[in-house]
Amino acid sequence: MGKRVAKEVSIAVADAVAQCKVDVVSAYPITPQTHIVEHLADLVNNGELDAEYIPVESEHAAMSACIGAAATGARTFTSTAAQGLLFMYEMLPIASAFRLPIVMVIANRAISAPISIWNDHGDVMTMRDLGWIQTFAENGQEAVDLVYHAYRVAEKAMLPVAVNLDGFIVTHVVEPVELLDQELVDKYIPPLKMKHKLDPKKPITIGAIGVPEIYTEARKAQDEAFKASYKVVVKAWQEFEKISGRRYQPIETYKMEDAEVALVIMGSLAETAMNTVDALREKGKKVGLIRIRLWRPFPTQDFIKALGKVKAITVFDRALSHGATGGPVGIEVRSALYQSNKRPKVLNLIGALGGRDVTTEDFEELFDRTFSFIKAKPRFAYEIFGAKE
């Protein structure tokens, strides 16, 4: 086991990336991702990490460089946030369609306008359908562990993985974090050996034109590989538990055994929500929490199983989907339940946009409203929580 030390989470994440022995780091600094790539640049400059660090002129170039390097069989890393993620947008579906095992950390941040450097999930939700496996961390330890997991999954499934950390709330906090011993990392993430890669000695073509006669089949093959990655994700977490003792699952629950209502959430706010659950449990209220760790591929069956016997849930989104029937997570949940015989009432609230605080008192109010919603008429509308009128 590794040594438990206090570190800024961004620094710990960069150290974990270095332990994975990446060959190429390519990034353009953007708040609040900056400390991750700055520390990696220091490690390369100091000779502590044997890798090429490519300081590009934009995020589009950062992902382009990762794609080119990964196609030759190099282990790659990049990191971004908000407008930076949007700037690399053209290249994101190419990385997944090429089946390249790129790992990217997204320090989640609100997208402009108005300009905001603070956290919500508006940036990552724009790439939910681009064929990237996506996980969410609640705290620093999980951020580090999900980086290890990302390389294991990416190189087994041959698909890119995005690890999401809430900007500032997770990235800039100093926490006790345990990095794995290098020996364990080497065992968990062996050297990358790609079956198909660009090699002058064995020329192949990657990214040729997809005429109408083959385009549909190519996308179907990609989709089948993506859905099959669920088993890879789960197995990688099981293997990680054996070497670290830390257990992760696609859907995680908190005090759901006899819960009548539950809150569904992703990311760091889950820790505040757990404190609320504890406080309400002491008052005799049967409340629980469902945390979505794996966002893509969405673990539908795990989610339905996690519901237990709840009568109503509140899905707390941290991103808008303008003109839709709810937030991105709320829409996903309602769609999953429509195919199931288990259909609790679903209240969809959108909040914590642009870094606005959500307190335990706010979550107490949400649980009270969820109890009231048990006997309310179902509705597909959503509400923006905490907006000043």
Per domain, the residue ranges of the chain are 4-244, 251-384
Q: How confident is the model at residue 380 (pLDDT cuts 50, 70, 90)?
A: low
Q: Are 125 and 324 in contact (CB under 8 A)?
A: no
Please indicate whether residue 288 or residue 342 has the higher confidence score (pLDDT). Answer: 288
Write down the mean pLDDT value for the chain: 96
Summarised one tens digit per residue, pLDDT across range 79-109 is: 999 999 999 999 999 999 999 999 999 999 9
What pLDDT was estimated at residue 172?
A: 97
pLDDT at 241 over 90: yes
Mean pLDDT over 334-355 rounds to 94
pLDDT at 340 over 80: yes
Task: Tell me the whole-structure pTM to 2 decimals.
Answer: 0.97
Out of 3.40.390.10, 3.40.190.170, 3.40.50.920, 3.30.930.10, the CATH code matching 251-384 is 3.40.50.920
User: Is-same-fold flag (4-244; 251-384)?
Assistant: yes
What pLDDT was estimated at residue 42?
A: 98
Q: How far apart are the C-alpha atoms of 328 and 288, rounded to whole Å?
A: 21
What pLDDT was estimated at residue 1?
A: 66
Q: How far apart are the C-alpha atoms of 371 and 363, rounded to whole Å?
A: 12
What pLDDT was estimated at residue 385?
A: 94
Q: How confident is the model at residue 64 (pLDDT cuts 50, 70, 90)?
A: very high
Tokens found for residue 164: 């999401």
What pLDDT was estimated at residue 2?
A: 74
pLDDT more than 70, % of the chain:
99
**HEC string of the chain?**
CCCEEEEEHHHHHHHHHHHCCCCEEEECCCCCCHHHHHHHHHHHHCCCCCCEEEECCCHHHHHHHHHHHHHCCCCEEEEECHHHHHHCHHHHHHHHHCCCCCEEEEEECCCCCCCCCCCCCCCHHHHCCCCCEEEECCCHHHHHHHHHHHHHHHHHHCCCEEEEEECCCCCCCEEEEECCCHHHHHHHCCCCCCCCCCCCCCCCCCCCCCCHHHHHHHHHHHHHHHHHHHHHHHHHHHHHHHHHCCCCCCEEEECCCCCCEEEEECCCHHHHHHHHHHHHHHCCCCEEEEEECEEECCCHHHHHHHCCCCCEEEEEECCCCCCCCCCHHHHHHHHHHHCCCCCCEEEEEECCHHHCCCCHHHHHHHHHHHHHHCCCCCCCCEEECCCCC
CATH 3.40.50.10680 matches 4-244: no
What pLDDT was estimated at residue 46?
A: 97
Of 385, 387, 388, the C-alpha closest to 318 is 385
What pLDDT was estimated at residue 128?
A: 95
What pLDDT was estimated at residue 331?
A: 96
Summarised one tens digit per residue, pLDDT across range 196-228 is: 999 999 999 999 999 999 999 999 999 999 999
